[in-house]
Amino acid sequence: MELTLAIAIGVLTGSGVWLVLRPRTYQLVIGLSLLSYAVNLFIFSMGRLRVGAAPVLESGGAGNPADYADPIPQALVLTAIVIGFATTALLLVVLLVARGLTRNDHVDGREPN
Amino acid sequence: MEWTRHLLIVPILLPLITGAALLLIDELRHTLKALLSLASTVLLLVTAIVLMRLADGVPGGSAALSSSYAVANWPAPFAIVLVLDRLSALMLTLTAVLALASLVFSTARWDRAGPHFHTLLQFLLMGLGGAFLTGDLFNLFVFFEVTLAASYGLLLHGSGAFRVRAGLHYIAINLAASLLFLIGVSLIYGTAGTLNMADLAVRLPNVPAEDQALLRAGVAILGTAFLVKAGLWPLCFWLPSAYMAAAAPVAAIFVVLTKVGTYVLLRLTLLLFGPETGDIAGFGGMVLLWGGMGTIAFATFGLLASQAMGRLAGYSVLISSGTLLAAVGIGDASVVSGALFYLVSSTLSVAALFMLIELVERAREPAADLLAVTMEAYGDESDKGEEHEDEEVGVAMPGALAILGISFGCAALLLAGLPPLSGFIAKFAMLTGMLNPDGLGAPAAIPGRIWLLVALVILSGLAALVAMMRSGIRIFWAPLEVIIPRVLVVEVAPIVALLALCMVLAVQGGAVLSYTDAAAQALHAPSSYIQSVLGAGHPPGVSR
């Protein structure tokens, strides 16, 4: 499972970085989205990978923390997803405005000659 | 002491509530909106000053260095805390002063150039207040994002192709930097198991050796994210264009945005890698020092090469950032104290310059302005039409040109660091700290890199003087037919106030320096910070 996750994060990051370095605004936004997926998976993996372990302690008694998944990275991922989603949506609006104002979709607003 | 503890949450809640309330008021009632926004910002300034006095230990006369506030009433390492110390109080006050100046300036016309100016400004203040006060790394990320989201809106305020293009780059760079921030934070959590800054400082020396490399990688990635925001060379190419494109009051408040990155780096390097932390001590210091010097050199050339005044001001921001980062890299208490003074002085003067530029540009023929812009490598289209179409500027002020000229001269003196204004004291304090690492009268060997930094700081001042004088002569002396710019009192007042504040800083230099000295000393002895967070016991309201 570790290998699968690591490869997934690596492929997402690699594609994301490549797309971010491309000159079209649409490629930029897709690249940033892929990167944010990779980062979200990465945060998740920082709480160690567990299968079938609950993130919340059962009521009554402290229990053994080793039996449970770490809930904090899961909470962090939620926050990161929400914020990433909102800022990407904002970027998308700016892309559309830039498209309208400059009449092309190059990130510099004009085609290189 | 009971109720004053709750003051810590005010710099976050007040702008949040005001900003949300302003959203509900119709755009047409802009007087009401401006008044509400103004009232909230004045209250914020008062709160910040009270907090600064609290942090300085005035009420009891005791050495109350820092105090913490558990937001959700959970004990410290498990939930978010807000921490107040001299440094954060200083940054809060600086932000509130700039916000007030920029808000007053904007009421002349900029706040009506697009929707929701006041709401965005208040949210920006909320994010800044939170970033300066929080004691938790992930919470810092959240407040950073709040600040940035508001700044995206503010940068685009007024619209126009030039702003949208600069805004696109600004947003893309900052989104990428935020991802680096997240990677760094999660690596730190994965190795150290905590996100509370104070707890992190305690746990850092106990991280097992096999995790040390991962931890350092995490800290380095986190640091890179802050360096992008602080504008360290070579991560700073977005900054001059973005700041030049922003509307004048927005650019003025943006000056403090680069200082957030610097603030966090200062706080984290001294908290986590202070002198007493063993083999990880001073981690990244050399990067900051050399990077800072690179930034100063790059910005000095940029300053001399810039034609448009907005770009000139943008490079001044970079010089200020580079100097501060290099000072953080050295990390001596005396250098940091001077750097804090420099931070306040340079932020105020560059903000005043940004607002001044807008007024001065009115004194020039629009064609001259256009020419300067076309000469720039980046903006070759006719982008300036937007700014000149709604010149609904009211009654011209008598002697406007004289006031603008004097203000421009003051700003030049401040940026160049010449006496008698505060820029000189700031640079003098920093250079004294650099050249006397063991205190005055104790000669010590100065490494070559420090000499290089000293030379760069002085040369950058010279370059600022040359660039400012060149623009000044072109604007105030050279034109054959003088156009008297039509400026309002509310536009001149904030500029004069900011410059006067710099004068007060110079006159009251001793008092301010003793405050920054105490702040720097406290930063170098993080145990009191750690104790105030982890040993705070139960917050008020819990009777157990």
Contact by Cβ (8 Å): B296, B319: yes
Q: Give the pLDDT band (50/70/90) at residue B483.
A: low
A28, A43, A87: residue with CB nearest B145 = A87
- Please tell me which of B55-64, B337-346, B486-495 the model is most confident about, judged by mean pLDDT: B337-346
- Alpha-carbon distance of A6 to B217, in angstroms, equals 17
Taking CB atoms and an 8 Å limit, are B175 and A87 in contact across chains?
yes
Question: What per-residue confidence (pLDDT) applies to B34?
Answer: 84
- Alpha-carbon distance of B12 to B15, in angstroms, equals 6
Phi, psi for B280 (deg, rounded to 5): -95, 0
| B2 vs B411, more confident | B411
Question: What per-residue confidence (pLDDT) applies to B447?
Answer: 79
The pLDDT of residue A18 is above 90: yes
- Alpha-carbon distance of B118 to B544, in angstroms, equals 43
Report, as an integer, the average pLDDT of B440-467: 82
How far are the Cα atoms of A65, B247, B317, B370 from residue B376, in angstroms, in the given order?
Answer: 61, 18, 19, 10
- Alpha-carbon distance of B128 to B92, in angstroms, equals 8
Contact by Cβ (8 Å): B44, B96: yes
Q: Which residue of B has its CA nearest to A73?
A: B186
- Alpha-carbon distance of B337 to B13, in angstroms, equals 30
Within 8 A of B163 by CB-CB distance, chain A residues are none
Taking CB atoms and an 8 Å limit, are A43 and B182 in contact across chains?
yes
The pLDDT of residue A5 is above 70: yes
Number of CB atoms found within 10 A of residue A15's CB: 16
**pLDDT tens track for B78-127:** 778 888 888 888 999 999 999 999 988 888 877 777 778 888 899 999 99
Percentage, residues of chain B above pLDDT 90: 9
Report, as an integer, the average pLDDT of B159-177: 85
Contact by Cβ (8 Å): B375, B307: yes
Number of CB atoms found within 10 A of residue B56's CB: 19
Sorted by sequence, the CB contacts under 8 Å of residue B79 that are 6+ apart come out as B70, B71, B72
Q: Which residue of B has its CA nearest to A21?
A: B172
Question: What per-residue confidence (pLDDT) applies to B540?
Answer: 37
Contact by Cβ (8 Å): B112, B37: no
Tokens standing for residue B236: 């700073």
Question: What per-residue confidence (pLDDT) applies to B365?
Answer: 57
Residue A102 near chain B (CB below 8 Å): yes
Contact by Cβ (8 Å): B155, B45: no
Q: Which residue of A has its CA nearest to B195?
A: A72
Q: Give the pLDDT band (50/70/90) at residue B374.
A: very low
Angle at B17 between CA B12 and CA B18, to 5 degrees: 105
Taking CB atoms and an 8 Å limit, are A88 and B164 in contact across chains?
no
**Count of all residues that appear for chain B in the document:** 544
The pLDDT of residue A9 is above 80: yes
**Count of all residues that appear for chain A in the document:** 113
Percentage, residues of chain A above pLDDT 90: 24
Residue B178 near chain A (CB below 8 Å): yes
ipTM over 0.85: yes
Nearest CA-CA partner of B319 in B402, B393, B426, B217: B426
Q: Give the pLDDT band (50/70/90) at residue A19.
A: very high
Question: What per-residue confidence (pLDDT) applies to B99?
Answer: 92
Q: Give the pLDDT band (50/70/90) at residue B138.
A: confident
The pLDDT of residue B387 is above 60: no
- Alpha-carbon distance of B452 to B292, in angstroms, equals 11
The pLDDT of residue A11 is above 90: yes
Q: What does pLDDT average to over chain B? A: 80
Question: What per-residue confidence (pLDDT) applies to B249?
Answer: 87
Q: Which of A20, A39, A49, A57 to mutate to test the interface with B (most CBs of B within 10 A)?
A: A39
- Alpha-carbon distance of B321 to B303, in angstroms, equals 14
Identify the three-state secondary structure at position B162.
Answer: helix
Within 8 A of A46 by CB-CB distance, chain B residues are 186-187, 189-190
**pLDDT tens track for B235-288:** 888 888 888 888 888 888 998 988 998 999 888 888 887 766 666 777 777 888
- Alpha-carbon distance of B478 to A7, in angstroms, equals 65
Question: What per-residue confidence (pLDDT) applies to B118?
Answer: 87
Q: Give the residue carrying structure tokens 């702008």.
A: B15
- Alpha-carbon distance of B358 to B245, in angstroms, equals 12
Q: Give the pLDDT band (50/70/90) at residue B479.
A: low
Q: Is the alpha carbon torsion for B519, B522, B528, B529 positive or negative?
A: positive
| Backbone torsion region of residue B158, taken as left when φ is above 0, otherwise alpha when ψ lies between -120 and 50, otherwise beta | left
Question: What per-residue confidence (pLDDT) applies to B429?
Answer: 86
Q: Which residue of B has its CA nearest to A95?
A: B168
DSSP notation for B354-380: HHHHHHHHHTS-HHHHHHHHHHSSS--
Question: What per-residue confidence (pLDDT) applies to A16?
Answer: 93
The pLDDT of residue A54 is above 80: no
- Alpha-carbon distance of B519 to B522, in angstroms, equals 5
- Alpha-carbon distance of B168 to B172, in angstroms, equals 6
Q: Give the pLDDT band (50/70/90) at residue B159.
A: confident
Q: Which domains does chain A have, with CATH numbers?
A: 2-50+70-102 (1.10.287)
The pLDDT of residue B144 is above 70: yes
The overall longest dimension of chain B from CA atoms, in Å, is 78
Question: What per-residue confidence (pLDDT) applies to B439?
Answer: 66
In angstroms, what separates the C-alpha of A61 from chain B's closest C-alpha? 19
Report, as an integer, the average pLDDT of A22-40: 90
- Alpha-carbon distance of B262 to B515, in angstroms, equals 19
- Alpha-carbon distance of B75 to A58, in angstroms, equals 21
Q: Give the residue carrying structure tokens 């909470």.
A: A75
**pLDDT tens track for B292-331:** 889 999 999 988 888 778 888 889 889 999 998 888 888 7
Which of B55-64, B126-135, B424-433 is predicted least confidently? B55-64
Tokens standing for residue B112: 């009506």
Percentage, residues of chain B above pLDDT 70: 84
A81-104 per-residue burial string, b: 16 or more CB within 10 A, e: under 16: eebbeebbebbeebbebbbebbee
The overall longest dimension of chain A from CA atoms, in Å, is 70
Sorted by sequence, the CB contacts under 8 Å of residue A87 that are 6+ apart come out as B145, B148, B149, B152, B171, B175, B178
